Structure 1
Amino acid sequence: MSTTEADYIIVGGGLTGCTLAARLHQRNPSLIIIIIEAGRDASDNPNASSPLGSFALTGSDLDWAYPSLPDATTNNRVHINNAGKALGGGSTINYAGWSRGNAADYDAWGAVVDDSRWSYAGLLPFFKKSETYFDKKANPEQHGFEGPIHIISTSASDPDRQYGLRKPLLKAWTDIGVKFNPDPVGSTEGISEYLENWRDGQRQPAQKAYGIEGITVITNTRVNRIIFSKGKEERPEASGVQLDDGRLIKAHKEVILSAGTFGTPQILLLSGIGSASALSALGIPVVHDAPEVGQNLFDHFAHFQLWKVRHPEESLAMGNPSWNKPAYFKGMPCDWVVNERVPSNVLEGAEESTQGSDSSLLKAGRCHIESTVIYAPAGIPGIPMDGTYIASSIMLLLPTSRGAVTLASALPSDLPLITSNYYSTKSDVACLIYGTRRMLQVMLETSPGKEYIEGEVAPPGQAELSPSSLDEEIEKRIRATGMSHKHAAGTAAMGKVVGSDLKVVGVGGLRVVDGSVLPVPIGGHPQATLYALAEQAAEIILNKA
């Protein structure tokens, strides 16, 4: 069998693609598997290995940097959607934050698709299978201790990694009523130590953590479209792919799309799977009329704020000359993550579309906002990293706003059109205003906040926010400056575009295994969910589901 044919062709060598390929090969080494990745192997890039270097990867040649269309709901701004364009995908360029969503988030997923494999209990074995958790005394029913991805907390990574704002921030959050949560799995509510998958200060990209030896990897190569032939009962069957240089690669078993939330719908559409009317307008032959392809786009939209510290000489923020302990650079300069529910009286009048459904924001056990403080001006453009500033993020965990991905043209080289539609529902507005008020309270009204924080530094042209700011003033700021955490998902949604077995509806021989299949938003940062998704996908495929 030559490199022009394979049992499985995996389009996209990102986090899920590499994980899936590795697990398929490990279970059955006789399988011929080809990964086709549009980006390069970045193992020779020093910025791709260290926490500090990761700040330089955004907007680099390892980033797709997909631009959105001007977004009417956020002052007609163009949002850049960062996504890994390299072997390892997001696991090569992300900041390595690690967290699961609440059990109730996954239960909503399982309920929406009527398949308990995608509930929390169904995914739990795969969460455990993917991780080696640092605390060997942790609950073995919730954690894995022999997986490829090593997870550690900030303080456990090095005894010298003791940031100056660690204790003050813990006190500030607990002073406003947030409870300490020592192990945020199943239930994430409360303040917990920040978890990450830096390993002794080094990145663990999927292809290295899982190992893809024995698998053919083609880099710097785009897939133009999927090739279909007529199968049983005249149903279209994916039989291979066409590359950007015209070459054809034949698949004996399946083609699997793992090209990401923007890349996967683009390839489906270019291949004739999408809205028949939209495809016909572009001259693309229709293989299957699937109007939901590219719809249901959601992301963790967030409000970032900048704060000036009172005592920069105490080495409270990155950039100070005395911020020089090697341990400080073993991960993100962050100690805590806070997950909170927005009070029901705030949401009851704001939740429009999901109330009473399985994905309702009001269901017990769900958190709506995640708050973090980074000891550097991360996420704030144009601010010097001189030890004077820290940043905060209030992230929307369960957005109800939905956007879309469509084609700009029939040319595979043209990036897709992205309609973000962020912050377009009453519940999204209510959640981020509430979260911003909580952060203002921590920074400006608690005794630790008053001791260490001089005040908020407003963006140019914006008024400074305070606890007395009106809701309208906070909303105006968020519309002017808010941006996503680059956790986009949902554009090949399970239950609409793919079945719960990950097979694309209406055709044969084609599956999707990446974040585009998520039918509903999941809290936390997506790495943990995506590794579990790929782990379960391997089991489903090998068991011929």
Structure 2
Amino acid sequence: MAAEYDFIIVGSGPAGGTLAYFLAQSPKKPNILILEAGSDNSDNNLRVDGKRWLTFMNKDMNYGYKTAPQTDANNREIDYSRGRGLGGSSAVNFGVFTVGAKDDYDEWSRLVEDPGESFFGWDRTKARLKKLETFHGRAPVTLENGTKYVSPRLEDHGSNGPLQVGFPAEWEDTVAPFLDQSENFGFPLNPDHNSGNPLGMSALISSAHNGRRSTARDLLQAIESLPNVTILTSSPVQRLVFDPSGLKKNPKVIGVESNSTKYLATKEVILCAGSLDTPKILMHSGIGPADQLSQFSIPLVHPNEAIGQNLRDHGFCPLVYLRKTPPLSDRARFYSSPTAQEEALAQWSKDGTGPWAKFACQTGIGFFKLPKLVSSPEFLALPEDEKSFLNQPTIPHWEIFSHFPIHWFMPEAFPTLTENTMFDYTCLLVFLYNAQARGSVSLQSSDPNVPLVFDPKFLSHPYDRRAAVEALREALRYTRTERFIEEHKIQDDGGVIAAPPTWDSKGEPGEEPSDEDLLDYWRNTISSSWHMSGTVKMGRAGEKDAVVDRKFKLMGVEGLRVADMSVAPVLLSGHTQAGAYLTGVAAAERILEDYGM
């Protein structure tokens, strides 16, 4: 006999974990099963704040997906990592907690709701944020004039939610000067990028507190001892189970199959496996594009050509410059000394303090518009609705991100890390926002344990290429200023580790790079931001690209909802883990309302 539950939630990442957290605490105590493909990720050392960049590389916790060769990125296969285990991708991501723009959520509402409704709008979203987070919103007491950089309205943030977010207790000594340099260049300071208006340069809000990363596993730990909650790890879901009596006319999902075991749901199954794996479960269950299912001999249950389409993502490229010696800060000494890192881990294990709670735990993050972009032919050729959205007052066109420890990601470009090696560098990441390319995920096997083919089509749209060029050009204008060169102590020869050709042999600003130079650099270096969205898109009945309705229900199939970033009809203007958590809250509200719970 198959085990039976009220609700089955597939996936334990930010969306699934949050959904489970709020459903489980309903006064009606629904019986909930959470199925996670990976392990329990219970080792406390996986939560070291400053090691978030290394945890990402843990092969036991990361599916290690790759894209298909990208035609417009020199046929490179690009890393498309996803988290594995309790907490999902929040267990391996970089902890960036950016909600996005007010206008993102108002646009989501406009796209899927009737006039006058605002379930997905900013006001409701802000209320969900307050339910979700415990916000630690103060600058370090040791930081002089800290309120210049950090002064959020605390009444706009949560104080009793399950997710710990905010600013670290100690900042590296180069963070505040970087923010000052940005302001001097003309990037205005924004004291709270999660206010609904992210525009400006901010100190980063992270999903961490007191040196410890906070992940979706925290939400699951809060409910795992409840008698109405069951969590099973090492339980990947291969396919859905249907009620055989209505399979031909009115398909109804009644459960899931995991490793040849069936689990039944008396109310609903909710897929929260993410933009890459939720479509896989649907397709291997017979829900998806008919021609793909036929090609791999998967019986068709419910055709929907839009499943697996509309893949969207942000891309980024790096700018890296070596500094003069001696190092500008003690970051270089720490990163070049295995002994110092080992001692720091012992200190962190004791009280959550020390270098692993400091280095690369605070960064600058800035979101900006590009005035030149909106007058370009590529922008003017966009549909009117898209142009209107991109011109909304809180929507950024690009992002800049500082203090990224890139030596772990491109070690071949740096000196050997030994205790006697002193090296220092400045790294900025340049992100392209609101890319217009629409990629896809598609079947490549009849085996449900084989990943789909992931093709985000990076840089394939003319607007994306123009926006990428203009964003990189603006970032280079910043790094070529005399103050930036002087305060970052860039080497006299330009110190270029990774940058387009903009420096002459004396280290002075050289000839302005051409559009083709900048685009070539993007093609050679673009990475995914791992913000995959849209492959099971939310929309209105009858729309060609719509899969789920505004209640997260998969249209044409009973007993099934999808609640993860695959449903997002908007590519949010930020790093999308916060959006995934908020999607889980919204889905919980819908379900609690529908069942009077």
**TM-score where L is the length of structure 2:** 0.84
1:433 matched to 2:469: yes
1:163 matched to 2:172: yes
Contact 1:12 / 1:259 at 8 angstroms: preserved in 2? yes
1:342 matched to 2:370: yes
Partner amino acid, structure 2, of 1:217: I
Cross-structure match for 2:577: 527
Cross-structure match for 1:121: 123
Cross-structure match for 1:37: 36
Deviations 1:320-356 (A, max 9, x none): 5599985442253443111101115545422244433
- State the 1:431 CA deviation: 2.1
Cross-structure match for 2:274: 260
Structure 1 range deviating more: 199-208 or 168-177: 168-177
Distance 1:544 1:188 in 2: 34
Structure 1 range deviating more: 324-333 or 215-224: 324-333
Partner amino acid, structure 1, of 2:196: G
Which of 213, 216, 230 is the matching residue for 1:203? 213
- State the 1:515 CA deviation: 0.9
Indicate the SS of the match to 2:277. Answer: helix
Indicate the SS of the match to 2:283. Answer: helix
Partner amino acid, structure 2, of 1:488: M
Cross-structure match for 1:506: 556
Partner amino acid, structure 2, of 1:427: Y
Structure 1 range deviating more: 410-419 or 45-54: 45-54
Cross-structure match for 1:330: 357
- CA pair 377-357 structure 1, distance change in 2 beyond 3 A: closer
Contact 1:310 / 1:451 at 8 angstroms: preserved in 2? no
Partner amino acid, structure 2, of 1:368: H
Which of 535, 544, 552 is the matching residue for 1:491? 535
Contact 2:15 / 2:582 at 8 angstroms: preserved in 1? no
1:457 matched to 2:487: no
Cross-structure match for 1:310: 324
- CA pair 193-278 structure 1, distance change in 2 beyond 3 A: same
Contact 2:61 / 2:83 at 8 angstroms: preserved in 1? yes
- Structure 2 unaligned segments of length 5 or more: list them: 139-150, 345-352, 504-508, 540-545
Among all aligned residue pairs of Structure 1 and Structure 2, give the percentage whose two residues are the same amino acid: 30
Q: Kindly report which structure 2 residues correspond to 1:129-528, keeping only aligned pairs within 5 A, or say none.
A: 129-135=131-137, 138-139=152-153, 142-153=156-167, 157-158=168-169, 161-184=170-193, 185-209=195-219, 211-213=222-224, 214=226, 215-229=229-243, 230-231=245-246, 234-244=249-259, 246-315=260-329, 317-318=331-332, 319-320=335-336, 326-330=353-357, 332-343=360-371, 345-346=373-374, 348-351=376-379, 352-357=381-386, 360-374=389-403, 376-377=405-406, 379-384=409-414, 387-452=423-488, 453-454=490-491, 455-459=494-498, 463=501, 468-495=512-539, 496-528=546-578
Contact 2:174 / 2:329 at 8 angstroms: preserved in 1? no
- State the 1:531 CA deviation: 1.4
Aligned length: 537
Indicate the SS of the match to 1:520. Answer: coil
Partner amino acid, structure 2, of 1:473: D
Deviations 1:256-311 (A, max 9, x none): 10111111000011111111122112111111111000111111111112211224
Structure 1 range deviating more: 369-378 or 384-393: 384-393
Deviations 1:431-480 (A, max 9, x none): 222222222222221413333223352459x7466672111101101001
Contact 1:194 / 1:334 at 8 angstroms: preserved in 2? yes
- State the 1:141 CA deviation: 5.2
- Structure 1 unaligned segments of length 5 or more: list them: none
- CA pair 359-45 structure 1, distance change in 2 beyond 3 A: farther
